[in-house]
């Protein structure tokens, strides 16, 4: 297990913390993280795009003039794709882009992302990060003390919505619930700030002990 420094909101180290190796020290699998990222982005697509084929547009399907003798090119109905107002050739149709991925692979991708962040010194552990009321100015000062002004992802727990609301007006910061960890958000920011209470949620959800109990 690796020991990491725990900072306060002023950016000063207050203690050392041991993080679980089954979450933060696994072998980084880039291919697995990429597969999870592609799946997440594909599942976010609505797939509601739709174009009308020549059989769906409004218009007569009668042949517009006779086949021979006019000196003009051969044509059929006005609904053909080459005419204005005709159907769309090979256009997109409503479909689902959803991709499946086994649960163990999804969990492995999250652990790989967390391990990569810890390896590259992108994780910042904080003893406490709470706010009595939403205030962008206060959270901006905290982020500057912790990250030096880099863009950051702040992990928070369910009962700490004031943090999320305070981050809404900061273009270089984003808040994410600890129970909603995903590969896209974890790898999108230079720094990831993890309060101790959020770390407890991460250990409870993404630890391997739970999997061992369920497999048994």
Mind listing the pLDDT tens digit for each residue in 75-86?
999 999 999 999
Q: Which residues pair with 13 in a beta bridge?
A: 7
Domain ranges of the chain: 2-45+98-215, 47-96
pTM: predicted TM-score of the whole model, two decimal places: 0.83
Q: Give the CA dihedral 179, 180, 185, 189, nearest 10 degrees.
A: -30
- Domain 2-45+98-215 in CATH 3.20.20.150? The answer is no
Residue of 60, 56, 50, 48 lying closest to 87 (CA atoms): 56
- For the chain, the average pLDDT equals 92
Condensed to tens digits (0 to 9), the pLDDT of residues 8-52 reads 999 999 999 999 999 999 999 999 999 999 999 999 999 999 999
């Amino acid at each position: 297990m690796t020991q990491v420094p725990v900072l306060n909101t002023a950016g000063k180290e207050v203690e050392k913390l041991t993080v679980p190796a089954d979450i933060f020290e696994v072998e980084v699998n880039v291919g697995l993280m990429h597969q999870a990222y592609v799946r997440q982005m594909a599942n976010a697509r609505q797939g509601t795009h739709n174009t009308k084929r020549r059989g769906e547009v409004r218009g007569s399907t009668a042949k517009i003039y006779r086949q021979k003798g006019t000196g003009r090119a051969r044509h059929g109905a006005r609904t053909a794709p080459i005419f204005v107002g005709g159907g769309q050739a090979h256009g997109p149709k409503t479909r689902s882009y959803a991709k499946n991925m086994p649960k163990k692979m999804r969990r492995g991708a999250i652990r790989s992302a967390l391990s990569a962040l810890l390896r590259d010194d992108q994780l910042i552990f904080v003893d406490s990060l709470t706010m009595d009321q939403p205030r962008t100015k206060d959270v901006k000062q905290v982020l500057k003390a912790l990250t030096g002004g880099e863009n950051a992802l702040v992990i928070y727990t369910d009962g700490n919505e004031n943090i999320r609301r305070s981050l809404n007006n900061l273009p270089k910061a984003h808040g994410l619930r600890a129970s909603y960890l995903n590969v896209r958000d974890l790898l999108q920011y230079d720094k990831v700030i993890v309060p101790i209470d959020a770390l407890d949620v991460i250990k409870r959800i993404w630890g391997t002990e739970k999997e061992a109990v369920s497999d048994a």
